[in-house]
Chains A and B, each alone.
Chain A
C-alpha cells in the first residue's frame, strides 16, 4: 500500500482528535449566542471565557490581553494598522525582509498611505542583527514588527534581544509568532513583546481562528464595528467552537513540549543529514542551530521546486517549495532571496516541516524516496548534464 507522509506542518496541521471533541458540543447542542443571557448563551460565554484564560495562561499573559481573531493574518494586520494609526511618535515602521506576507503587505499598504518603512536585511543564516535594528530606530518610529520564527526556513529570531532595544527607545514591538506558538516555548514576558499574533491551525487546532495578544497599556484600534464582542474592538458573534478549539489545541501542544521538541528535532536532524548526504549539490537554508524543531529547508540545484513537489505528491509525500512556480508569482521566495540565494538556487528549494505527529518511518520513507525523484528530474533537466559531466562549483 502506498504511504502518505504529511510533511507540510508549517502550511497547516491536522486537527487533533481531542480538539475536535472539545469543539463538537459548540457546533451541535451548545449553539447559543454567547451574548444571550439565558443558560444556553451563558454556556457558550463561559466556554469563551475559559478559552481566553487558558490562552493567556499558556502565553504568560492576562485574559484581558487576549483578543480572538479570524487567524494569523488578521492578527498581524490588526496589530500593525492599529499601532501605526495610534502612534504619537510618527509614521515610520521597521520590519524585516523575511516576514510573512501578512506583515509585509500590511506594511506596504501603510507605505502607500504615507508611512515610511525600513526593511532590515538578514544574514546568510536568516537572522536579524540587533545592531542594525538599533541603527534603524528613529524618533518617528511607530512600530517594530519582527517574526519570532520564519515560516519557510524556520529560523528563530533573538526576539528578547530585539524587543529590549525597542523598549529602550520606547517603540512598541509586535511579533508574528504564528510558526512558533505550540512548537517552542512562547512567553510574552520572556520575549518582551507588546503584541503577538498566533493561529490555531498551525498547532493542530481549527482553521479560521487566531488570537492577538496586546500588552495592557498598549492602545488598540477598533477592527470591526458592531456589538461589544472582544471588548468592543472586534464585533460579531464569536466563533465559539473555533475559540474553544484554539485553546484546547494550545494547551495540548504545550503539554510535554520539551519532549516533543526533542523527538521532532531528532527527526529533523536525521532528515537534514540524510538529504545532504545522499543528494549532491544540495544545501540547507537557514541557521542549523536557531531553527524550529520540525523545519527542513534545502535547495536542490538544477531542478525546479514545483516539479519536485508534484513528483513527491505522486509518491505520497506532501511538502512545499519556495520556487516562483509555487508562490503564484514569477519570483522565487523573498525569504530565500533574503538570505542571499541566487534565483537559480532558490527555484530548487524544498521545505519539509515535521512535528510530533510524524514518525521515524515517515523520515525513512522521505529519505528512501527523495533521491530517486531528484535523479529523475535532473535526468530531464538541461542544466544537470553540465554539472553531471563536467562537475560544477558547489559553492552557492
Chain B
C-alpha cells in the first residue's frame, strides 16, 4: 500500500486542525470501533463557510481526507460544499489506496453532517437523504469505488 505525495503532505501538515469554540455547525461521523472519527466545525457568514476546523482520530488517510475536505469547502457557499463528493476529495489527493477509500466517504459525510447541524440550528430542515447514507467507516462497501488510478513509474 502506497500513499501519494499529496496524501503524505496533508498528513504531515494537516490544514485547519483544531476546533471553533463558537461554531455555527458541528458534525461528527465514524466511530472508535472502526478506527475513524472525524469532527468538523463550521463558521458560516451569509451562507458562506468563512472558517472550518477539524479533529480526527484515524489513520494517515483519515487525517489527509479531513484536511483536504476542509480545504475544498473553505470559502465556499453551503450549497457548493454540499456538492463536494468523496470522489472530489480522492482526486484532490491524487488518489487513495482502495482499502482507504472509506476515509474519503467519511470526510464527505463529516462535511454534510456539519452543514446539516448548521441548518438545524437555524431552524431549517436539511433532509437526511440529501446527506446520503450514514458512513461508519467500516462496512467496506465503498472499496469497490475505483479511484483515479495512475500507472506507476518504474
Contacts and interface: CB of A to CB of B under 8 A. Distances in A.
B140 interface: yes
A382 interface: yes
A344 interface: yes
B32 A306 contact: no
A291 to B, nearest CB: 26
Nearest to A301: B32
A380 interface: yes
Contacts, number: 75
B60 A328 contact: no
Contact of A343 (B34, B37, B39, B140): B34
A323 interface: yes
Contacts of B11: 307, 310
Contacts of A325: 35, 58-62, 100
A126 interface: no
B33 interface: yes
Interface in A313-360: 314, 323-326, 328-330, 332, 342-344, 347
Interface of A: 302-307, 310, 314, 323-326, 328-330, 332, 342-344, 347, 380-385
Contacts of A310: 8, 11, 60
Name the residue in A323, A328, A347, A385 with the highest tally of chain B Cβ atoms < 10 Å from its Cβ.
A347
B33 A307 contact: no
Contacts of B58: 304, 307, 325
Contacts of A324: 34-35, 138
Contacts of A326: 59
Nearest to A314: B12
A381 B58 CA distance: 8
B57 A381 contact: yes
A307 B63 contact: yes
Contacts of A385: 55
Nearest to B19: A385
Contact of B55 (A304, A332, A342, A382): A382
A383 B35 contact: no
Contacts of A344: 32-33
Contacts of B55: 380-382, 385
Nearest to B57: A381
A383 B140 CA distance: 23
B56 interface: yes
Contact of A347 (B35, B61, B99): B35
Given A304-B58, A347-B35, 11 more contacts: A304-B36, A323-B59, A325-B61, A328-B1, A330-B34, A330-B35, A330-B99, A380-B14, A380-B55, A380-B56, A384-B57
